[in-house]
């Protein structure tokens, strides 16, 4: 975590200045501020401010500062545990390494949040407000991911409570920060009330910057002629700064995808255009990780089942769910096209992720994700999937991103004996999070091997789980009840599950569950979960070249 050291030092100096100031005359926050949070008593006791006229912005800033201090303290705690790794099991080390990484991301996000709220009372754009709410939502998700990982190895690690106890308080503090931000700086999202917006963009050869080499231009034009991304008459363009080719026969620039990623520039800007990695047909047995500093990277293959990336890490063999993925991406503004990503561990190995996506403003177009339990981990931040195929069994689309699946094919397949299938397991833990899974204009059909396995639309992994199906074809494999409990009555009152204008024999809602959290909604409600409204797709998708419908 050395990359965070300089930032942490600066932030700690700020925090120390704040917390070493005299507090003898501190007053509790007025209940009118803390009442908007999930933890009002915690809020009142943990946010003392020496100003009886303090408003929600003052408390919001103070809460974010205190959150930075807590995140740094927790990161140092994890580092201390890992420094004694010789006494830890492999499972404990891997879980702690996940926590170490996630704590670093949280420090980054909190630092960015503070830079915004420290300069602003109320003047903040809709997109900036959405950015901050997204980061604060992801901080809670990251913390919960750490908790889940530690709990999974709890029986083999005696010191687990030394990590779980501080995380519980940290989670409350992060929740308070999110609530106060939403109250003080939050904006209503842009609403596409007509539901008619439609946008298609694509490659045009003329969009290439002159600095691109002649060889790369030729490759780009070859790829373009294969119509990997459709072009329409509106003249929209995808800007590409350069291209490298990955080919296993040695005819390209690299023989492995990882080498090409390492070569890509760091922290490119939108104006620079995408750095494109063209991966030719072949089966690539490698674990791909696109780190957070590889902004604006575009990866294009030769097609589903032509360019294949495959691995078999899984929980049974000692990996955490978080790090079992064949393909991991955390770099913002990532785009992938025409690629198959697999985890071949099989149903018997339980959790085994094909793709883990924690990349903000990322898009996958014409890709396939193949696995069994936990195939596609839409972990956090804002994501979009178009015309993708997704195969799996138990909870095979799970996580806590704000994500839209559009015109995709979902294929439940045969699980282990005595298991049922749940297509989604959405992980929203706080009502202030802007997260959820929206499945629009998709098709749900049985994979060839499914048989008579009971299959459900989803189940509530976390307390405020949120999933919506819109205009989706549901074949007869979907059980009439539609949705399945997680455990007893957990989250049946607090989750939000909704269906709108779906078709097919599995879409009949007359026998659906009667939970308070289940709804059959109208167009006015459904439009809130469209690409333009739910993930503000109009702000980032046009530059990607990925086609999308903004409304219903």
C-alpha separations of 212 from 23, 207, 209, 276, 420 in Å? 59, 11, 6, 11, 51
Backbone angles phi, psi at 323, to 5 degrees: -110, 20
Rounded Cα–Cα distance for residues 438 and 402 (Å): 8
Q: Is 543 exposed, middle or buried (0-12, 13-18, 19+ CB in 10 A)?
A: buried
Cα 284 to its chain centre, rounded Å, is 24
Strands 198-199 and 548-549 come out as antiparallel
Q: 216-251 in b/e burial notation, b at 16+ Cβ within 10 A?
A: bbebbeebbeeebbebeeeebbbbbbbbbbbeeeee
**Angle, helices 126-152/90-117, rounded to nearest 10 degrees:** 160
3-state helix, strand, coil in the chain (%, to 5): 35, 20, 45
Rounded Cα–Cα distance for residues 523 and 305 (Å): 37
Closest C-alpha to 434, from 534, 530, 353: 534
The reply to whether 118 belongs to the active site is: no
Rounded Cα–Cα distance for residues 122 and 184 (Å): 7
Backbone angles phi, psi at 196, to 5 degrees: -110, -5
Rounded Cα–Cα distance for residues 495 and 541 (Å): 29
Q: 443-462 in b/e burial notation, b at 16+ Cβ within 10 A?
A: bbbbbeebeebebbbbbbbb
C-alpha separations of 286 from 326, 342, 351, 499 in Å? 7, 11, 19, 39
Closest C-alpha to 208, from 242, 246, 234, 253: 242
Q: Under a CB-based contact definition with an 8 Å cutoff, are residues 293 and 3 in contact?
A: no
**What long-range pairs does 16-24 form, CB within 8 A, spacing at least 24?**
18/62, 18/65, 19/69, 21/50, 22/50, 23/48, 23/50
Residues in the chain: 552
- Active-site residue (options: 131, 170, 374, 395): 395
The phi-psi region of residue 81 (left if phi > 0; otherwise alpha if psi is between -120 and 50; otherwise beta) is alpha
Active-site positions? 395
């Amino acid at each position: 975590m050395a990359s965070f050291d300089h930032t942490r030092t600066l932030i700690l100096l700020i925090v120390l200045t704040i917390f070493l100031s005299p507090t003898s005359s501190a007053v509790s926050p007025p209940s009118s501020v803390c009442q908007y949070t999930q933890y009002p008593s915690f809020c009142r006791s943990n946010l003392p401010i020496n100003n009886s006229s303090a408003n929600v912005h003052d408390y919001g800033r103070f809460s974010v500062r205190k959150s930075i201090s807590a995140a740094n303290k927790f990161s140092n705690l994890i580092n201390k545990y890992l420094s004694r790794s010789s006494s830890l099991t492999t499972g404990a080390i891997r879980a702690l390494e996940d926590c170490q990484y996630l704590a670093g991301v949280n420090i980054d996000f909190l630092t960015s949040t503070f830079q915004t709220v420290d300069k602003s009372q109320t003047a903040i754009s809709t997109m900036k407000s959405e950015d901050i709410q997204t980061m604060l939502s992801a901080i809670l998700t990251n913390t919960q991911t750490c908790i889940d990982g530690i709990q999974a190895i709890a029986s083999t690690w005696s010191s687990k409570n030394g990590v779980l106890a501080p995380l519980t308080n940290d989670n409350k503090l992060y929740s308070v920060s999110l609530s106060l931000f939403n109250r003080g700086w939050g904006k209503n999202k842009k609403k596409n009330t007509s539901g008619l917006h439609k946008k298609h963009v694509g490659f045009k050869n003329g969009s290439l910057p002159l600095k691109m080499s002649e060889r790369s231009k030729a490759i780009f034009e070859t790829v373009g002629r294969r119509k990997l991304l459709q072009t329409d008459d509106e003249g929209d363009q995808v800007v590409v700064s350069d291209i490298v080719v990955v080919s296993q026969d040695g005819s390209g620039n690299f023989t492995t995808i990882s080498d090409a990623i390492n070569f890509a520039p760091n922290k490119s800007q939108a104006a620079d255009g995408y750095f494109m990695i063209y991966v030719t047909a072949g089966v690539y047995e490698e674990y791909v990780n696109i780190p957070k500093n590889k902004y604006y990277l575009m990866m294009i293959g030769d097609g589903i089942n032509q360019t294949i990336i495959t691995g078999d890490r899984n929980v049974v063999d000692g990996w955490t769910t978080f790090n079992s993925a064949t393909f991991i991406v955390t770099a913002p503004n990532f785009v992938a096209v025409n690629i198959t990503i697999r985890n071949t561990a099989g149903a018997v190995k339980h959790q085994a992720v094909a793709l883990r996506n924690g990349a903000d403003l990322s898009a996958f177009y014409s890709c396939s994700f193949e696995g069994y339990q936990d195939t596609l981990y839409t972990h956090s931040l804002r994501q979009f999937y178009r015309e993708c195929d997704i195969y799996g069994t138990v909870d095979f689309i799970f996580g806590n991103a704000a994500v839209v699946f559009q015109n995709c094919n979902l294929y439940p397949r045969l699980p282990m004996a005595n298991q049922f299938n749940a297509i989604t397991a959405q992980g929203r833990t706080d009502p202030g999070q802007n997260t959820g899974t929206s499945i629009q204009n998709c098709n749900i059909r049985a994979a060839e091997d499914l048989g008579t396995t009971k299959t459900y639309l989803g189940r509530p992994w976390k307390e405020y789980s949120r999933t919506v199906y819109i205009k989706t074809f549901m074949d007869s494999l979907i059980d009439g009840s539609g949705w399945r409990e997680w455990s007893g009555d957990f989250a049946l009152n607090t989750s939000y599950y909704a269906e709108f204008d779906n078709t097919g024999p599995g879409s009949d809602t007359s026998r659906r569950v009667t939970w308070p959290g289940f709804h059959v909604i109208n167009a006015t409600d459904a439009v809130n979960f469209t690409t333009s409204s739910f993930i503000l797709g109009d702000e980032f998708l046009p530059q990607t070249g990925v086609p999308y419908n903004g409304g219903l």
